[in-house]
Amino acid sequence: MESSNLQCMPSILSRRNKRKTKEEENLNEKARKICRGAKTTNVWQLNSRSTFVSSRSSQSFSLPNSIMYYILKNPTTTKLYQKMIQTCKYFFIKNPIIVSSKFPYSHSLDKWCIGKTRFDFSQLICKYWITENYNFASVLPKIYKCDAKKMCICDQIISFNDLSVFTKTAEDIYFITVTVKDSDDSIVPFEKMFEAFIHVKKFRFYSASIRPKITSKTFKELLKIPQFSKLQLLHLDNIPDTFDIEAFYVYMKKNKTTKFNLKFDKSISAPYKNRLEEIIDEILSKNILNYKPPYIDFYGFIKLDIIKGFRNYAQFCHTV
């Protein structure tokens, strides 16, 4: 009986030791996670990349090195690039790109995220190729290419040169409190910025404080841009009284395509306000219009609307 108990002792002790070792490992791992915080994912990512790179085989392609280098550095489509990296690790190692429908920023978590996991982009080795929607701008250096048709940039001062990432594909554009600067640090004229987006269909410039750079020549210059006549929507905030309202008025009477939402700056002069009021009066005096009426707003207009007994002007303009 004693011998059988003695025989059982090593196995019991072994199980206890294993359990104790596992508990210690779990506690150590929890402590490491607390110390590393959000960097846990990045450490894993970097270690995974080391494993990925070390497992590759040397390649000997039938094509000259110069041609292979051109191919790997200039993929024309995301589909082609993904086929290349699925075929051979060499293409990803030499030109690491992550293809994504949108940039991984979580507005609800206010963090850069992969899923719901926080991620430190300062450690990111890869660049991003965005295919559908883009709605952030502070990480432009991490963008390899952007094919997004819808883009939204908020609270940024960006260079006109950086806009070239978006201008070839973007159709639906939101600028929210954005300043675009030229190479000499001057603010880019609105017409130059608009012209850069060759496929634009809707353009919105929202801001409570920033004015678009509009001069007396701006509207006439817009009329020379081919995509302007095909525009579906143009929204502008804080328009100064340098905007050529008479040139716009002539165009307005022929416009059947574009919905204009024009909100003028508080600083516009009294005569300019009077002219805007005359245009609104004319629009509302007719039951049938053979053009798309613009929505025009300026400081003090709400009071004017009540005093003069206008119909709901905003509703009228947006239903015609």
Q: What is the pLDDT of residue 117?
A: 57
What is the rounded average pLDDT for all residues in the chain?
A: 75
pLDDT per residue as tens digits for the range 139-174: 556 777 777 788 888 888 888 988 888 888 889 999
Other residues' Cβ atoms within 10 Å of the Cβ of residue 87: 9
Reference 292, options 250, 244, 246, 260; nearest CA is 260
Q: Which two tokens stand for residue 162?
A: 């950086």
Q: Which two tokens stand for residue 239?
A: 């328009």
Query: Residue 37 region, left (φ>0) first, then alpha (ψ -120 to 50), else beta?
Result: left
What is the end-to-end Cα distance of the chain in Å, rounded? 99
Q: Which two tokens stand for residue 44?
A: 């894993």
Q: What is the pLDDT of residue 169?
A: 86
pLDDT tens over the chain, length 320 residues: 444 444 544 455 455 555 545 554 554 444 344 333 334 344 444 446 666 666 666 777 788 888 888 888 888 888 888 888 888 878 887 888 777 765 554 444 345 555 555 555 556 677 777 776 666 555 556 777 777 788 888 888 888 988 888 888 889 999 988 899 999 999 999 999 999 999 999 999 998 778 889 999 999 999 999 999 999 999 999 999 999 999 999 999 999 999 999 999 999 999 999 999 899 888 888 778 888 989 898 887 654 444 444 445 555 555 55
Q: What is the CATH number of domain 149-320?
A: 3.80.10
Reference 236, options 219, 221, 249; nearest CA is 219
Q: What is the pLDDT of residue 86?
A: 83
d(CA 96, CA 233): 38
Three-state secondary-structure class, residue 265: coil
Bridge-based pairing of strands 202-206 and 150-159 is unpaired
d(CA 256, CA 248): 14
Q: Which two tokens stand for residue 14?
A: 């072994």
Residues 6 or more apart whose CB falls under 8 angstroms from that of 75 comprise 81, 84, 95, 97
Please give the order of strands across the beta sheet that includes 105-106: 105-106, 111-114, 117-118
Residue 222, amino acid: L
- DSSP class per residue in 137-156: -TTGGGEEEE--SEEEEEEE
d(CA 295, CA 229): 18
Q: What is the pLDDT of residue 214?
A: 94
d(CA 289, CA 58): 71
The residue ranges of DSSP E strands in the chain, in sequence order, are: 97-102, 105-106, 111-114, 117-118, 127-134, 143-146, 150-159, 172-181, 202-206, 233-239, 259-264, 295-297
What DSSP designation does 168 have?
T
Q: Which two tokens stand for residue 315?
A: 């509703």
Helix axes 270-284, 245-252, angle to 10 degrees: 10
Residue with tokens 């009540």: 306
pLDDT per residue as tens digits for the range 50-70: 666 666 667 777 888 888 888
pTM score: 0.67
Q: Which two tokens stand for residue 27?
A: 């506690």
